[in-house]
Structure 1
Amino acid sequence: MIVEQNVPLQAHNSFGIVAKARALVRVRSEGDVLEVLADAAQGAAGKFVLGGGSNIVLTGDVKPLVLKVEIMGRRVLEDGPRGVVIEAGAGENWHEFVTWTLDQGHPGLENLALIPGTVGASPVQNVGAYGVELQDRFDSLDAIDLATGRLFTLEAAQCGFGYRDSVFKHAPPRDGHDGAVPLRGMGLAGRALILRVRFRLPKPWKPVLDYLDLQRKVHETGIASPSARQIYDWVCAVRSHKLPDPRVLGNAGSFFKNPTVTPEQCQDIIAREPKIVHYPMPDGTVKLAAGWLIDACGWKGKSVGNAGVYEKQALVLVNRGGATGGEVVTLARAIQTSVYERFGIRLEPEPVVV
């Protein structure tokens, strides 16, 4: 185990915020984690698990020991008439993994192309885009308990998936474990390090084209029955047009979750704002487009210090150059206040503030 000291994190967070890890260990196998936990000094230290850094806002140097997940590997575990099960290491780049699955002739993840981050972070956030969520393609994962050093496996029902949510985003209860493995349904934030994730891609493959942007592509191209590769290309084109490349303009993708309201609340807002973008949900609620709410409050293109709202998509906050985490948080809070004062809706941020 090599513990690196005072490691710059600007290249390890997609916002490009300048900060340092006071101590960092590169995790390339479960053995690396066990070695950390067995070390008298490091085992007792607080720990911060870092993947691709695409869903965090750093507000200063990270004091806990940073476990930088770099576990690699991709393999097909099962290929049968009802589906394909594929496993990937938690440190694999998500978009590169999606591309690889298509190159291997296994469609199913194409709607999730070009999402930044790593494979290990995908179930934490329950990533989703263009009509598909991670939970729709999830099989199981392996993780290690940072409190006990025990390895454990979770299936979908144990992950507590919700809209941009999972058991990995909730703190464990104070009496949080049974001494062996995490209890079903408990919070695992700060306690679990994901090692590998398995995906189940169904057969026969069916395209998911319900999302408006994809319907537009069908209309524009005249391709009524696109292949998985065609959908992948469309998703990449749409995302590239709407969202800035973090390598060019620092950002964490969509900064706020799309809020849901009751039909009655939606009708009340429509009476005042007839053009509001909204989507009926299967459970009877109505999802509102957070980007539309922010744009309606006049924030598109505005800045607080060096943090700003992207000109093409109000849902994205960007680093215009040298932004601090404090500036990003201040901007986000100002947006939340504006939306609440006008619409009575509280926007919930997606990234974790560290």
Structure 2
Amino acid sequence: MQVESNISLNSYNTLGLRSEAELFTELHSPEDLQKLINDTSIRKLPWNILGGGSNLVLPSLVRGLVLKVANTGHEVLGDDKDYWFVKVQAGEVWNDFVQGTLQKGIYGLENLSLIPGTAGASPIQNIGAYGVEVKDSIFEVHCLDLKTGEEKVFSNKECRFAYRDSFFKQEGAGRYLVWDVTFRLPKNNVMHLEYGDIRKELERLGLSNEPRHIANAVINIRQSKLPDPRVIGNAGSFFKNPIVPKSTRDALLERHTDLVSFPYQTEHFKLAAGWLIDRAGWKGKMLGPVGMYEKQALVLVNHGGASADDVWKLANQVTTDVKSIFGVEIEPEPIRW
């Protein structure tokens, strides 16, 4: 393990923002973390944990130490009559893990194909797409205490999952480093085809609703709507879909008959933030070097040379306009360092 100074983070964030870490190191083992904790000169600095950088808005200079989680790989731990148990290391690329399970004939994560980032971020963000949230498949999360280096295992319940949220984004933020995640995936898999254009894409491709075909459909849909960060800097979906009471949704539906919404828990609905942003006039519109993507209004893109200030200026304006027109608050997903 080596701690380096003044390291560019330009290639470590998918938004492509110019950023530099005052200090930077990669973590390959729990022992690496313990060495940092025992180094009093480093321990007193602020620390930031870096995964795939796909859900971050970075400042031009990150003070203190950036820790890049670099453990990779996944393994099948075993099974019972109903489930497979699969462990994935936090630094593993999420989509590599999803496709790896499918290749083994283990299903349940197919709707989450091609979500950017690393597996370690999945419980933190409670990632989700196309009607599926990762919380429904996580068995337990193995963490390292950033203060002591001690190991701690969190059960699914202890993770306190919510929509795009968890204990690790709230009380556990800055205290625990996710090191690996164990998934419990059903042998009797239930297909989720009701969200988005999955059924249409399967029909277009002439495919049945098998898990690997669903994954292919999801990948095709995402690639058709979402820009490749290697070509256009972006952090995927920039805003959360707001959750509102049924009464609010019904009132909006009276004024906007094409409102896109989905039932969410009892007497609540999830509104499509992309639809709200589009109708607010921001789809394909720029503000300085950043804008909302022309093919998907939910995605904020960096057309080149943008700073964190540019990103938040646009995000604030979009939020203000949506609130003014629809009376609904939309909240950014990415983490702000």
How high is the TM-score relative to the length of structure 1?
0.93
> Match for residue 298 of structure 2?
315
- Asked whether 1:275 is paired with 2:254, we answer no
Q: Which runs of 5+ in 2 are unaligned?
A: none
Alpha-carbon distance in 2 for matches of 1:271, 1:210: 24
Q: 1:246 aligns with which of 229, 235, 243?
A: 229
Q: 1:203 aligns with which of 187, 200, 213?
A: 187
- SS of equivalent residue, structure 2 residue 217: helix
Deviation at 1:217, TM superposition (A): 2.5
Letter in 2 for 1:44: K
TM-superposition CA deviations, 1:290-327 (whole Å, max 9, x none): 11111111101111111111000000000111111111
- Asked whether 1:285 is paired with 2:268, we answer yes
Asked whether the equivalents of residues 37 and 44 of structure 1 are also in contact (C-alpha less than 8 Å), the reply is no
> Match for residue 48 of structure 1?
48
TM-superposition CA deviations, 1:41-79 (whole Å, max 9, x none): 112221100000010111221102111100112111013
Identity %: 45
Q: 1:194 aligns with which of 175, 178, 189?
A: 178
Letter in 2 for 1:148: T
Deviation at 1:21, TM superposition (A): 0.5
Asked whether the equivalents of residues 145 and 175 of structure 2 are also in contact (C-alpha less than 8 Å), the reply is yes
Alpha-carbon distance in 1 for matches of 2:188, 2:135: 18
Deviation at 1:149, TM superposition (A): 2.1
- SS of equivalent residue, structure 1 residue 300: coil
Alpha-carbon distance in 2 for matches of 1:95, 1:344: 36
Deviation at 1:236, TM superposition (A): 0.3
Asked whether the equivalents of residues 83 and 187 of structure 2 are also in contact (C-alpha less than 8 Å), the reply is yes
Asked whether the equivalents of residues 57 and 353 of structure 1 are also in contact (C-alpha less than 8 Å), the reply is yes
> Match for residue 109 of structure 1?
109
Letter in 1 for 2:319: Q
TM-superposition CA deviations, 1:109-165 (whole Å, max 9, x none): 111000000000111100001111111110111111112222100011000101111
> Match for residue 197 of structure 2?
213
Deviation at 1:279, TM superposition (A): 1.4
Alpha-carbon distance in 2 for matches of 1:287, 1:11: 34
- SS of equivalent residue, structure 1 residue 313: coil
- Paired residue total: 337
Letter in 2 for 1:270: L
Alpha-carbon distance in 2 for matches of 1:71, 1:86: 16
How high is the TM-score relative to the length of structure 2?
0.97
Deviates more, 1:309-318 or 1:52-61: 52-61
Asked whether the equivalents of residues 30 and 149 of structure 2 are also in contact (C-alpha less than 8 Å), the reply is no
- SS of equivalent residue, structure 2 residue 213: helix
Please, what is the CA RMSD of the aligned residues? 1.2
> Match for residue 155 of structure 2?
155
- SS of equivalent residue, structure 1 residue 63: strand
Letter in 2 for 1:217: E
Ranges of 4+ aligned residues in structure 1 off by more than 6 Å: none
Alpha-carbon distance in 2 for matches of 1:323, 1:46: 25
- SS of equivalent residue, structure 1 residue 279: strand
Letter in 2 for 1:120: G
Deviates more, 1:98-107 or 1:206-215: 206-215
- Asked whether 1:329 is paired with 2:301, we answer no
Alpha-carbon distance in 1 for matches of 2:223, 2:334: 20
> Match for residue 182 of structure 1?
none
Alpha-carbon distance in 2 for matches of 1:348, 1:32: 36
